[in-house]
Amino acid sequence: MSAPIVIYVDADACPVKNEVYKVAARHGLKVFVVANSFIAVPRDPMIERVVVRAGMDEADNWIAARAGRGAIVVTADIPLAGRVVKTGGKAIAPDGREFSEDSIGMTLATRNLMDELRSAGAVTSGPKPFSPRARSEFLSALERAIVRLRREGFGGAADR
């Protein structure tokens, strides 16, 4: 019997929740949808809505406290991705970027630099519009993460 693969979704402004639900259902995986306010989720025992109290980083802290090896976290929040990667979890952005120990340092540094530039009044471009290609990249990245975890000995919730 292997430890289950669990997916955590940093749900505030996540454009790929429906894709996560479909992939998770196909693989029999538990999904936690975490947000600071009510978010509608499908009526499915494998999908659990978690509403954390309002406050900066409350959803991130809830996810980071639980997401270790065998977890996949869907988030655009780079500091959260860094925390997840540090504990052995997999982190994927909604555009399909996979965060790893090798990439997270540079990604955090770039994020911090852009944040400093914006604070100093520099005009920077915002995020790119979410595209069908980004959605496709995300689906591929999620499938790859599940396959890798299965190869590492993790299984679906049905394997418990």
151 lies in some domain: yes
Distances (CA, A) of 116 to 56, 103, 111, 121, 124: 19, 20, 9, 9, 11
CATH code for position 61: 3.40.50
Our CA angle for 32, 93, 79, nearest 5°, is 85
Q: Answer whether residue 2 shows pLDDT above 80.
A: no
Q: Answer whether residue 133 shows pLDDT above 70.
A: yes
Mean pLDDT over the full length of the chain: 87
Taking the C-alpha atoms of residue 98 and residue 46, their distance in angstroms, rounded to an integer, is 24
- Name the residue range of residue 50's domain: 6-155
Could you tell me which of 136, 158, 155 has the C-alpha nearest to residue 147? 155
76 lies in some domain: yes
Domains of the chain: total:
1
1 lies in some domain: no
Per the listing, tokens 């259902």 go with: 25
Element containing residue 22 per DSSP (H, E): helix 17-27
pLDDT tens-place string over residues 56-110: 899 999 999 999 999 999 999 988 999 999 999 999 999 999 998 776 655 555 5
Determine contact, residues 7/24, Cβ cutoff 8 Å: yes
22 lies in some domain: yes
Give pTM, 2 decimals: 0.84
- The residue type of 86 is K
